[in-house]
Amino acid sequence: MTDLRRTVLWVVFTMSLVLLWDGWQKHNGHPSLFSPAPARPAASAASAPASATLPNAMAGAPAAPGAATPPPATTLPASQSVTISTDLVKATLDSRGGSLVRVELLKHKDETDPSGHVVVINPSHQYRAETGLVGVAGAPNHLSVMSVAEGPRELKDGSDSVVVRFESPESAGLKLAKTYTFKRGSYAVDVKHEVLNTGTAAVTPQLYKQLVRDGQPGPGQSSFYSTFTGPAIYTDKAKFQKVDFKDIEKGKAQFEKQASDGWVAMVQHYFVSAWLHNEAGAREFYAKSVGNGLYSVGTVSTLAALAPGASTAVSDLLYVGPQEEKKLAALAPGLELVKDYGWFTVLSKPLFWLLDQLHGLLGNWGWAIIALVVLLKAAFYWLNASAYRSMAKMKAVNPRIMELRERLKDKPQQMQQEMMRIYREEKVNPIGSCLPIFLQMPFFIALYWVLLSSVEMRHAPWIGWITDLSAKDPFFVLPLLMTATSLLQVWLNPTPPDPVQAKMMWIMPLAFSVMFFFFPSGLVLYWLVNNILSIAQQWAINKQLGVQN
């Protein structure tokens, strides 16, 4: 039993040191041991081939004679920018392709500049939402310079939407019009594509919708924990699939290529952009490197066959905003999964639901965290009580064990036999304190990911100096209290008979505390409250069993 406890302690301690070293490496700009290395920085757009980001046409679909995509252009004609302002966003569109090239979220402060706002679709990452036509040689695409219809650019009082329309010149017998409708109180933009056949022959064009950006993580990333940045694809059959930039670069990306449903997204911590089309219809998914450190993820779908003079229209949603779970779930099946809980989704989703309900009652996310930890401790009260009784009994017999080890230190086999005899007589299970804790660890890890992933914690205040539960404690009060409570827990627990184990029991809380000094204060608050409740329960059980603290 002693060997087992020693092994468990050494494993935990070694992993703690590895995590600390990995965090220090990332803090100093070196690659992480556990997360993909950032893709290489993107070069300037001017150095990329003009048609590099055009997708391929769908396999097996009818196409007009000629190449599927136009040859690379040596120069791109000038274009103009259009800026749209609503109550939630300030969006910039480029008349080259009618692409969305910048989206600023007016309700979300920037991590590095408190006076500014979060910019999700960001020119500094060459991040764009693009659409166009393929399958017909020379068809209008996201490189075509379009004309912009006149109209209001700001959401006026009493108005529910702002509309901006782009029209391409005739190209290869086709004209493409894009209409963006920005709505009050919504991060989802209606995007309508209208295609007119101005030629003399029937054609069957294909519409692509894609998101393009470089492989660098966005601002506000921590050096001590890693969150996913990159493309995601969802289909009803394959469900949510994350695609690492590194896998795309190596040609090893695995995801569902064809389906009759689904969407594509570009994910970062707290925020997401996504092309959504909820109507059933065949579509092809792609995620690829387009050179110069840029990556694209998108869909291609075949439009209706167009006779000369005929037209067709397709409506989609383009979401650019925070990962607010309930609102995402209402927009498209599975969209809430961009808020990625990893392996613990099955536990994290109900825990967030409960946390959200508590926030509705208490009106403060900090108090909601405390209330949730209290409920979890209550739910596991009897399981914890069993562990703490085992610890108390171990502490009660510890003086006898220590005397035994000193007396029989030269006779290890006899010492082990005598120790097991004492444990049997006193009905003590040396590992009885471990199993209940291991059983409930998945719940607390799931809660950890809830607090780490929830955009609702961003700039959410608790009390006094804690003005942002997603940021570290500016005065390190919570981490210091957490360290103190962790050491108090060690003092309440039985001292391991092995001197090496005993030292490790004191060193481990200090090692963990280094990371908690840089963790979001909401996470530290949850761990601190858990420690305090555990100490209270252990203290009460020790008193009940007459064990000296």
| Structural contact between residues 292 and 47, judged by C-beta atoms closer than 8 angstroms | yes
- Res. 455: pLDDT tops 90: yes
Residue with the bigger pLDDT between 531 and 28: it is: 531
Q: Compute the 3-state secondary structure of the chain and give helix, strand, coil in percent, each to the nearest 5.
A: 40, 25, 40
When pLDDT is averaged across residues 469-476 and rounded to a whole number, the result is 91
Alpha carbon of 81 to those of 43, 91, 213, 335, 355: distances in Å? 22, 10, 19, 30, 42
Structure tokens at 464: 């006094």
In this predicted structure, what is the pLDDT of residue 10?
45
One-letter amino acid for residue 327 of the chain: K
How far is the C-alpha of 199 from the C-alpha of 210, rounded, in Å? 27
User: What per-residue confidence (pLDDT) applies to 75?
Assistant: 57
pLDDT of the residue at 396: 72
pLDDT (mean) for 460-476: 93
Q: What is the pLDDT of residue 301?
A: 97
Q: Given CA atoms 491, 510, 443, 7 in this order, what sign does their dihedral have?
A: negative
Of these ranges, 60-64, 98-102, 342-346, the one predicted with the greatest mean pLDDT is 98-102
Residue 415, both tokens: 């010492």
- Tell me what pLDDT residue 33 has: 46
- Sign, Cα dihedral of 352, 356, 362, 365: positive
Please give the domain boundaries of the chain with CATH numbers for all domains: 80-218+226-339 (2.70.98.90), 352-544 (no CATH)
Q: CA 319, 324, 328, 330 torsion: positive or negative?
A: negative
Q: What is the pLDDT of residue 395?
A: 67
CA–CA dist 414, 4 (Å, integer): 18
pTM above 0.85, yes or no: no
Least confident of 21-30, 150-159, 318-327, 400-409: 21-30
Tell me the pLDDT tens digit for each residue of 330-389: 999 999 999 988 788 899 999 999 999 999 999 999 999 999 999 988 888 777 676 666
SS3 state at 56 = coil
Ranking 189-198, 281-290, 506-515 by mean pLDDT, the lowest is: 506-515
CB atoms near residue 326 (< 10 Å)? 10
Q: What pLDDT is attached to residue 433?
A: 54
Q: What is the pLDDT of residues 13-42, one digit of tens each?
A: 455 555 554 554 444 444 444 444 444 443
